[in-house]
Amino acid sequence: MKFEIESLPYAYNALEPYIDAKTVEIHHDKHHATYVAKLNAAIESEQGFAFEGTLDELLGDLQQVPEKIRTAVKNNGGGVWNHNFYWKSLSPEATKPSQALEECISKSFGDMESLKKKLVDSALAVFGSGWAWLCADSDGKLKIVPSSNQDSPAMNIDAFKGLTPILTVDVWEHAYYLKYQNRRQEHVEAILNLLDWKCASERFEKRS
Ligand code: MN
């Protein structure tokens, strides 16, 4: 089975002025696509490993993956999953959280502005490459979880135990370097204008 890249849910220039078209194009068509290609190449290199499941099933149990390709599957498979999740976390349209999510934002952070400030702080605190995830537990309590490299909520790792991710910010330099160079804070503050609260609300409703 070959994994395929999910197409972008909007045009390259749809996220301007916050993220420029060239950055979106390279990020999706080169970086994201390369994770897909390298994931497939790793699986194909191990002919005895005839995996037929979904990406979630693959990442949810990395112990089933032969040791020789496990790191490649983890890094590239995580890269694929995280980017699929990331593109859907952004919207060119202005969106609002559902009433249920809004109530949980108030309970967990005080208000939306405090949540956004925490998200920026968490994104800035990631050393090197990684992600900042807004997650919900089964009671609806919200929490921001940073991750390194391509570690992913789809993996069975302690940081995400009992949590459902509802939004994410990519803080790899490739997500912002062309427009913002080393100015990660400026980029993350710009991204706040694009977060898809409608999608976040749907993910929140479906949390386990
Ligand atoms: Mn990325």
**How confident is the model at residue 1, as a pLDDT?**
64
**How confident is the model at residue 147, as a pLDDT?**
97
pTM: 0.97
- The alpha carbon of 87 and the centre of ligand 1 are apart by a number of angstroms equal to 10
Contact 161, 137 (CB under 8 A): no
- The alpha carbon of 104 and the centre of ligand 1 are apart by a number of angstroms equal to 28
HSE (side-chain half, CA atoms, 13 Å) at 157: 15
Mind listing the pLDDT tens digit of every residue in the chain (208 residues)?
Answer: 699 999 999 999 999 999 999 999 999 999 999 999 999 999 999 989 989 999 999 999 999 999 999 999 999 999 999 999 999 999 999 999 999 999 999 999 999 999 999 999 999 999 999 999 999 999 999 999 999 999 999 999 999 999 999 999 999 999 999 999 999 999 999 999 999 999 999 999 999 8
- The alpha carbon of 81 and the centre of ligand 1 are apart by a number of angstroms equal to 11
- The alpha carbon of 174 and the centre of ligand 1 are apart by a number of angstroms equal to 6
Please give the distance of CA 208 from its chain centroid, rounded to a whole number: 18
**How confident is the model at residue 133, as a pLDDT?**
98
- The alpha carbon of 41 and the centre of ligand 1 are apart by a number of angstroms equal to 20
Q: Of 18, 133, 20, which Cα lies nearest the Cα of 78?
A: 133
**How confident is the model at residue 208, as a pLDDT?**
83
